[in-house]
Structure 1
Amino acid sequence: MGNITPSTMPPIPPKVAPAKPDKIEETAQEFEGVMLGQFTKLMLETVDRGEEFSGGSGEEMFRGVLAETIGQEMAKSGGIGISQAVRDQMIKMQEGSK
């Protein structure tokens, strides 16, 4: 192995501009919405629907969309604290890269 010279070293990537606080908040809320949607989907899979209230193949097709929408709305309504934790970590990571 030879000596390392500046010409053989890979270029250092330029610094990325820090994200704006509103973008961080939006991203954290979207993440919480996805998480809550997945939790809701798992819960819906365990519900005994019975024949009287079963929506057939249409229900099966849109059950995932329903879970996703419920998760997004829960996050918009304040969620369960996931977005705050994610936001705090994103800010810490951003401050650490300065």
Structure 2
Amino acid sequence: MEMASLDFQYDQAALAARKAPAIDPAKIKSREQARETAEEFEAMFLSLVVEEMFTGLDASNMFGGGNAEKMYRSMMAEEYGKSMAKNGGVGIADMVMTEILKLQEQAGQ
């Protein structure tokens, strides 16, 4: 992989991180909201991981291939991330939820 390509990918990831809304524990009122927010975060993370896995693969002729398939890969990766997070994920949502609840307790004191 070329260095310019890595720099571009890093810039894209940094831009996505800036666009992502920050988690404000004060706005999360219930345990269910905390869980939902944590799962959304995990889904976003997993979709970035899945999208990175696809970067080295060529478009498949089975699905038409070409530039159109490459354009829609990010949407497919996003849906994969959502599906994985909804079905248990990799444990990130549990850790994020724990931290949200800790921050809420500290803010309440």
Report the TM-score range of the alignment, normalised by the length of the smaller protein: 0.7 to 0.9
SS at match of 2:88: coil
Contact map agreement 2:28 2:34 (CA 8 A) in 1 = no
Give 1:62's match in structure 2, choosing from 50, 72, 75.
72
Does 2:88 correspond to 1:78? Answer: yes
How many residues are treated as equivalent by the alignment? 82
Deviations 1:33-92 (A, max 9, x none): 000000000011023x27745610110110100100000000001000000000000000
- Report matched runs for 1:77-96 at 5 Å: 77-96=87-106
| Bigger RCO (CA 8 Å, 6+ sep) | 1
- Give the distance between the partners of 1:76 and 1:85, measured in 2 at CA: 15
Greater Cα radius of gyration, structure 1 or 2: 1
- The runs of 5 or more residues in structure 1 that have no matched partner are 1-15
> Deviation above 3 Å: which 4+ runs of structure 1?
50-54
Quote how far apart the aligned CAs of 1:19 are: 1.6
Q: 1:77 to 1:51 in 2, by over 3 A?
A: closer
Does 2:37 correspond to 1:27? Answer: yes
> What RMSD in Å do the two structures reach over aligned CA positions?
1.9
- The runs of 5 or more residues in structure 2 that have no matched partner are 1-25
SS at match of 2:45: helix
Quote how far apart the aligned CAs of 1:32 are: 0.2
Normalised TM-score (structure 1)? 0.76
Does 2:48 correspond to 1:38? Answer: yes
Give % identity.
33
Quote how far apart the aligned CAs of 1:30 are: 0.5
